Structure 1
Amino acid sequence: MNKPVEDPESEGPAGGWGSLKSIARIYGESSAEISAFETLKRQNKPGGFMCVSCAWPKPANYHPFEFCENGAKATLWESTSARCMPDFWNDHTVRQLRDWKDHDLEMTGRLTHPMRYDDESDRYVEVSWDEAFSGISGALKKLDPKSVVFYSSGHAGLEASYLYALLARLYGNNNLPQSSNMCHETTSVGLTKVIGSPVGTVLWDDLEKTDCLFFFGQNPGSNSPRFLHPLQEAKQRGAKIVTFNPVIEQGLVSFVNPQSPRQMLTGEETVISDLYLQVQSGGDVAAILGLCKVVVEADDQAEAAGAKRVIDIEFIAQHTTGIDQFMDCVRNTSWVDIERESGLPEDEIRRAGQIYVDAERVIGVYGMGLTQHSQGALNIAMLVNLLLLRGNIGREGAGVCPVRGHSNVQGQRTVGIAEKTKLVPMHKLKELFDFDPPTDDGTHIVDAVKGLMKGDIKAFVSLGGNLVRAVPDQKDMERAWANQELTVMISTKLNRSHLFPGKLAYILPCLSRSEIDEQATGNQYISIEDSFSHIHGSIGKRTPASDHLKSELAIIAGIAKATLPANQRVRWDDWTGDYGLVRDLIEKTYPADFTDYNTRLNKPGGFYRGNAAHERIWKTPENRAVFTTPKQLNALSFNDRLGRYRLLTLRSNDQFNTTIYGYSDRFRGVEGTRDVVLMCDEDIEGAGLQVGQKVRLVSDFDDGKRRELGGLTVRSHTLPRGTICSYYPECNVLNAIEHHDELSKTPASKSIPVRIERDE
């Protein structure tokens, strides 16, 4: 079979020699220690450590090398021999470093000592851990708890995350926003609304039994390459794969398995997508409605002919609500409108729809290409509509499969890092720790950023991450971040958020997940949750980068001990000495999810904490899965107009979130730079531009504020008309903090309205 689509800029299939060369290059550039290769052999295996990259599941029957290109890069990056020691600051001031690239900051190496910002010298200076905890405590005690935010990225394990949430609530607030607020909060809110579950319903066995996968806005080639193995196996047994994505992502075009000697020697590649449809940015609502229209038309024909129904009538009658209104919408929406809003011709949508009709068991896979829109929750509801029509949720080989982008971002929510009180069993916390937890909802990250800009938020404690770089309205965020009374960053490497210190600011260096975490009872296991709701144990074996590092859990306990009043039921020292005691607390707090937690910790493949929707138990107000009638045919909050483009922000092949490993995006043919804007030839010509010309992007969000990013080189790329692309996080300067999903407030980073100006 010929490839369904080709990207002329790509260097070829995902995987293969390109993947190995990329890993080798990062090994050299990162100055990783030779022992890092031994570390990679233990990655994602029982008795080893769980990857710090994506949240893709870890199978029970693992490969000899159970890591992908992205995971290997993440491990090598943290295994660097470079060290950012206190004397680094003898030659650099904070303000000077603001001119450095993100990549160059990371290249300084692992942080080794706790540091405090000294305003007089504009440098960080070494302090002891006791001094750091005392200084943080003094500042926190002076502040109104409502003005303090406890943010977390998806890095910390379940044990540290549970105690971090407890710290915030004992301190007096539920201000626990998390990195999911910026990516898959749309999933948590959107799926909960329609199926009663905040997470996907698919298990590993479903991947082995499905006969069709529909992809929407997800890029396994760069963001979750281990997904390519089950996709290849699915293709080999005859499964169909259909992809909807504005960008040609090579991992969904073809794949050469690096673990297959035959494929590596012959270059034999597996064609992944049978049909690849380049929907325009924001056009998925219409595209999915078109798929549903094909299903409904086929069902109408079958019913008229007295044949077997295409729609699963019994499932719909027993398990769903809202079908009649939705069917009216499907029948009354014209193909003209669907074509206009999706950017796809009717015949291509019909081809995709027929594949869906012919399949018995379908999985719907999606990523941030669906979630990061003004109507991201509607995107997800539409995908659920499609799956519900044929009963493709809650049975073997079928379901909805959001692919999370950070290793434990889902698990942190599970154990209490949540700003919404309804998500946390507060009565259990009261019983276990003899205090009255705060009852008011905390702040979402969007509201926290707004609070910073207004001056209402006075302090941020960040458990990992690079928040200043990750959020919209980046320039305003930098100014607001530096105006705080206190900033605390728990980090492994230097990043841009460290360069805008508050009036009192600390950098607290922590262990990486692959390093030995020696406590009173020995080297400690932590645990993480993957995208399929399985819990895995993880233990590091590497020598720590510095004798001065502490674990994330120990740092949290140190801040808590210094700040909070004594409570005989709150045993920070005991918990630091034995993480198994924390797992006992998690089990008591969430008994249905964590039964026999410590006993099952290292079960191969992880242990399943369950998912009601997988069992067709719908925890919605209606006690049924809900069909959603769309209020509009796109996922946008703005209209098209002359000179306005839809900017889709990308991550490169040399990147994980805000971490920039290098300047090679081989799948898009971009080398040596990130300062580009990708456009189709028709848009380049229509705008009167030329390939290689320098331009600036200017926000066209209707609030009258000037936001711009200059110095970008125009490059030709295969894209739908009106959709242009450039890189995240650089493009965050163009996105307004008010531009977000209507329900979840997830920033709309995949459809930013912009204009193009010549960069004189």
Structure 2
Amino acid sequence: MNDESKIQPYSGPAGGWGSVRSVESILTKEGRLVSGNAILLKQNKPDGYACVSCAWAKPANPHPFEYCENGAKATAWELTTKRVTPEFFAEHTVSDLRTWTDHDLEEAGRLTHPMRFDAGSDTYVPVSWEDAFHEIGQELKSFDPREVVFYTSGRASLETSYMWALFARLYGTNNLPDSSNMCHESTSVALPKSIGVPVGTVILDDFEKTDCILFFGQNVGTSSPRMLHPLQDASKRGVPIITFNPIKERGLERFTNPQAPTEMLTGSETRISSQYHQVKIGGDIAALMGMAKSLIEADDRAREAGGKPILDHAFIAEHTHGFEEFAQAARQASWPDLERRSGLPQEALEAAATVYSQANAAMGIYGMGLTQHKAGVENVQMLVNLLLLRGNIGKPGAGICPVRGHSNVQGQRTVGISEKPELVPLDKLKEQYSFEPPRWKGLSTVETCEAIINGDVKAFVALGGNFVRAVPETAAMEEAWPRLRLSVQISTKLNRNHLIPGEISYILPCLGRIEIDEQETGPQAVSVEDSTACIHGSKGIAKPASSDLLSEPRIVAEIAKATLPVNDNVPWDEWVADYARVRDAIEETYPEDFRGFNERMWQPGGFHRPIAARERRWKTETGKANFTTPKSLEADLGIAEQDANILKLMTLRSNDQFNTTVYGYYDRFRGVRGTRMVLFMNRNDIARLNLAEGDLVTLTTAVDDGVMRQVNGLRVTPYDIPEGCCGAYYPECNPLIPVWHHADESKVPAAKSIPIRITLMQEKQPEAAE
């Protein structure tokens, strides 16, 4: 902690004046107070640009200010007046820059010129675009395609993502990991097995028709604040919102709408959650099974007495498979076991079930609090089970709603960014572009980490992102990365990954989404898919940060042309000249999803991809929606729970952060200012482990695999979190996550349940002065 660090409770609501002050502060800091506010008026508007941060839905009839606090921060961050020029790199060695914080690296400003690492001077030096493309192409030609990884962060457009995936397959690889592998791959594995689609079934209109909302493991106030508008409307209509989350997040407690003058002037607040259940980390399966048990046994009693059934038996009979096995497992689950594993009393679970049972249409909303566990796939399937019991898939106001994080992470998968060849229409691509696509399974994010550590990957080409900082096993990854022959980073800002160069390393600076993208046929537009499978157009409106920047599609096309043999069926130059032609190609490859793509992309509210489960068409092996019986009531088997000195750590984002990007050092809702090195603990655990508030401690991963994983210097901070659980910030605690500690089947890093031991590091430091 620095001398200005301070930790004290925050009493305000989500939104409100705190949000307004935060937005104006970052606009001022980035030199965009006046122009930034004007540009924000076009954010998430039908004729404007799609937010570069979260993927929440964009309404057909937007609010006057259709952006949230973090969306405004993302815009200010991209449009900053600060620049990282060749002169900057000449003044700072890579070794020096490694001592900078994540925040300070990105705060330095926008990258302006292509740069190549020079090992002799330990600096990045300028390089022409032509030379960069030529050398990258020559290097890529020298590798076995299985040794090369094409990574994608979640913000690249549909057009760029399609070109990127095609480039990789023309090159001969399916090594296409992306940020979805780190967050919602558990969704992409669970939902197809349960309901036959890889995405959610809820659309924005369903919020106006729902009678009940079940909320699991998602921090709306930080990760998708614009969702607070439909949640507030639902709450005001009397819709119960039942939340399960280890920590009480302010956005799920109360909200003051910054766009409502009366609320701002009077300080009035809307209660969001009607019930808030602080489930233990890893206790979601047990909590969901407890609700299911309550419903099924209540239905058994009602049928025996000749009363009104609780379950939707007609729906279950016509549309589902596996109900009897699941129902029997629920009946056999013991309440003492459910209480112990969930951390919640029977009465609380029955109360939640009772409210749910009285709703005609209910939706289940969730985030990484369900997906980032060893049993992350089963977590998602259990929420589906609960919805199926009362027919809450495929009717208005009901459905499953995974909240994706990054702005187009879901859309990238839609247009071919996947390591799984069975998810991509390879035969169609073969016909369209006259080549033989690779058919073998590529590397996921976790598998990429393993392969880099083992030396099996020789080249890593990244379309955005901050891979080394975002993934688990930080120490081993940073040690292994310099052994890569080639490391290419297509980026807008400086980040940690640039400072761990391979033998040959390039930084290729690109236009941001908010900037005007001028090509041969004029200014270009791109498109993105939001969390509700809705496609939107996006037009850049700001002057580019540098005249030397190229667009992402142009960079992808130039690397492809420098690498691949000529293929007259792939019109790289024509695509770059007119992105509408890329959209025509996407429509040809995916005609069902993108019918009339160019004509429909500017439709207010976007256009929805057809989702079969919304129409109760089940594209599963059984032809029905499937109940899935979990193997265990515990989402994190293998953690040594018998040792009371081992706590479960969940990683958290702050209010001043999006993914690995740290905008500042004020996590307003948790009352943490000036530091991110904080360990949130239950007071009873603090006392039991002979610690005290303010102690500086070391966290060590409590696994016996011969690898020491530690993070030092975290400040013990009492917090309202269940006993045996603790929380600390991502990505600072990524070094604690073993690469093998991931969700079964999906391989999503189990970042929400890391077994750790705590040891005292030094004496408590003095409290910061007021």
Query: TM-score normalised by the shorter chain: which range applies?
Result: over 0.9
**Cα offset, 1:34, TM superposition:** 3.2
- Structure-2 separation of matches of 1:69 and 1:701: 39
**Cα offset, 1:31, TM superposition:** 3.1
The reply on whether 1:202 has 2:202 as its aligned counterpart is yes
**Cα offset, 1:371, TM superposition:** 0.3
**Cα offset, 1:705, TM superposition:** 1.5
1:656 is aligned, of 655, 658, 661, to: 658
- Structure-2 separation of matches of 1:328 and 1:574: 60
Paired residues for 1:554-703 under 5 Å = 554-637=554-637, 638-640=639-641, 641-703=643-705
Q: Are the equivalent residues in 1 in contact too, given 2:24–2:33 (CA < 8 A)?
A: no
**Cα offset, 1:186, TM superposition:** 0.5
SS in 2 for 1:37: helix
Aligned to 1:268: 268
Percent identity, aligned pairs only, is: 57
Q: Which runs of 5+ in 2 are unaligned?
A: 1-6, 763-770
- Structure-1 separation of matches of 2:162 and 2:300: 52
Paired residues for 1:481-500 under 5 Å = 481-500=481-500
Q: Are the equivalent residues in 2 in contact too, given 1:187–1:402 (CA < 8 A)?
A: yes
**Cα offset, 1:204, TM superposition:** 1.2
- Structure-1 separation of matches of 2:14 and 2:301: 41
Which digits, 9 at most, give the CA deviation of each residue in 1:256-310, with x for residues without a partner? 0000000000010000011100001000000000110111122112112212211
- Structure-1 separation of matches of 2:513 and 2:302: 55
Aligned to 1:231: 231
State the one-letter code of the partner of 2:522. G
Q: Are the equivalent residues in 2 in contact too, given 1:248–1:718 (CA < 8 A)?
A: yes
SS in 1 for 2:193: helix
SS in 2 for 1:34: helix
**Cα offset, 1:33, TM superposition:** 6.0
Higher mean C-alpha deviation, range 186-195 or range 20-29: 20-29
Q: Are the equivalent residues in 1 in contact too, given 2:701–2:708 (CA < 8 A)?
A: yes
State the one-letter code of the partner of 1:746. V
SS in 1 for 2:395: coil
State the one-letter code of the partner of 2:350. R
State the one-letter code of the partner of 1:238. G
**Cα offset, 1:639, TM superposition:** 3.3
SS in 2 for 1:713: strand
**Cα offset, 1:642, TM superposition:** 2.4
Aligned to 2:761: 759
State the one-letter code of the partner of 2:560. A
**Cα offset, 1:570, TM superposition:** 1.2
Aligned to 1:474: 474
Aligned to 2:282: 282
Aligned to 1:87: 87
- Structure-1 separation of matches of 2:616 and 2:446: 33
State the one-letter code of the partner of 2:444. H
Paired residues for 1:317-716 under 5 Å = 317-637=317-637, 638-640=639-641, 641-716=643-718
SS in 2 for 1:73: helix
**Cα offset, 1:704, TM superposition:** 3.0
**Cα offset, 1:37, TM superposition:** 1.5
SS in 2 for 1:703: coil
SS in 2 for 1:472: coil
Which digits, 9 at most, give the CA deviation of each residue in 1:414-449, with x for residues without a partner? 000111111111111111111111111111111111
Aligned to 1:37: 37
SS in 1 for 2:301: helix
**Cα offset, 1:312, TM superposition:** 0.5
Aligned to 2:152: 152
Q: Are the equivalent residues in 1 in contact too, given 2:159–2:579 (CA < 8 A)?
A: yes
Aligned to 2:166: 166
SS in 1 for 2:400: strand
Q: Are the equivalent residues in 1 in contact too, given 2:158–2:526 (CA < 8 A)?
A: yes
Q: Are the equivalent residues in 1 in contact too, given 2:459–2:486 (CA < 8 A)?
A: yes
Which digits, 9 at most, give the CA deviation of each residue in 1:184-205, with x for residues without a partner? 0000001111111110000111
Q: Are the equivalent residues in 2 in contact too, given 1:9–1:717 (CA < 8 A)?
A: no
Q: Are the equivalent residues in 1 in contact too, given 2:8–2:672 (CA < 8 A)?
A: no
Q: Are the equivalent residues in 2 in contact too, given 1:216–1:369 (CA < 8 A)?
A: yes
Aligned to 2:719: 717
- Structure-2 separation of matches of 1:728 and 1:701: 20
Which digits, 9 at most, give the CA deviation of each residue in 1:634-684, with x for residues without a partner? 100323122100001000000000000000001111111000100011110
State the one-letter code of the partner of 1:718. D
Aligned to 1:177: 177
Q: Which stretches of structure 1, 4 residues or longer, exceed 4 Å deviation after superposition?
A: none
**Cα offset, 1:236, TM superposition:** 1.2
Which digits, 9 at most, give the CA deviation of each residue in 1:121-169, with x for residues without a partner? 0100011110110110111111111100000001110001000001001
**Cα offset, 1:701, TM superposition:** 2.3
**Cα offset, 1:39, TM superposition:** 1.2
- Structure-2 separation of matches of 1:653 and 1:162: 32
Paired residues for 1:30-69 under 5 Å = 30-32=30-32, 34-69=34-69
Q: Are the equivalent residues in 1 in contact too, given 2:258–2:264 (CA < 8 A)?
A: yes
Q: Are the equivalent residues in 2 in contact too, given 1:82–1:109 (CA < 8 A)?
A: yes
SS in 1 for 2:132: helix
- Structure-1 separation of matches of 2:579 and 2:285: 45
Which digits, 9 at most, give the CA deviation of each residue in 1:604-628, with x for residues without a partner? 0001111011111111111111111
State the one-letter code of the partner of 2:421. T
- Structure-2 separation of matches of 1:590 and 1:69: 35
TM-score by length of 2: 0.97
State the one-letter code of the partner of 2:283. G
SS in 2 for 1:113: coil
Aligned to 1:4: none
SS in 1 for 2:698: strand
Q: Are the equivalent residues in 1 in contact too, given 2:218–2:367 (CA < 8 A)?
A: yes
State the one-letter code of the partner of 1:690. A
Aligned to 2:766: none
- Structure-1 separation of matches of 2:578 and 2:74: 28
The reply on whether 1:212 has 2:212 as its aligned counterpart is yes
Which digits, 9 at most, give the CA deviation of each residue in 1:581-635, with x for residues without a partner? 0000000000001011111110000011110111111111111111111111110
**Cα offset, 1:29, TM superposition:** 2.6
State the one-letter code of the partner of 1:562. A
State the one-letter code of the partner of 1:282. G
- Structure-2 separation of matches of 1:639 and 1:658: 30
The reply on whether 1:302 has 2:302 as its aligned counterpart is yes
- Structure-1 separation of matches of 2:29 and 2:21: 12
Q: Are the equivalent residues in 2 in contact too, given 1:373–1:748 (CA < 8 A)?
A: yes
**Cα offset, 1:32, TM superposition:** 3.1
State the one-letter code of the partner of 2:738. A
Which digits, 9 at most, give the CA deviation of each residue in 1:80-101, with x for residues without a partner? 0000000012221101111110
- Structure-1 separation of matches of 2:278 and 2:54: 25
State the one-letter code of the partner of 2:696. K
**Cα offset, 1:10, TM superposition:** 2.9
- Structure-2 separation of matches of 1:203 and 1:307: 34
**Cα offset, 1:8, TM superposition:** 8.5
**Cα offset, 1:353, TM superposition:** 1.1
Aligned to 2:4: none
Q: Aligned residues, how many?
A: 754
SS in 1 for 2:497: helix
**Cα offset, 1:70, TM superposition:** 1.0
CA RMSD in angstroms comes to 1.0
Q: Are the equivalent residues in 2 in contact too, given 1:32–1:77 (CA < 8 A)?
A: no
Cα distance change, pair 99–8 in 1 and its aligned pair in 2 (3 A): closer
Q: Which runs of 5+ in 1 are unaligned?
A: 1-6
- Structure-2 separation of matches of 1:699 and 1:131: 45
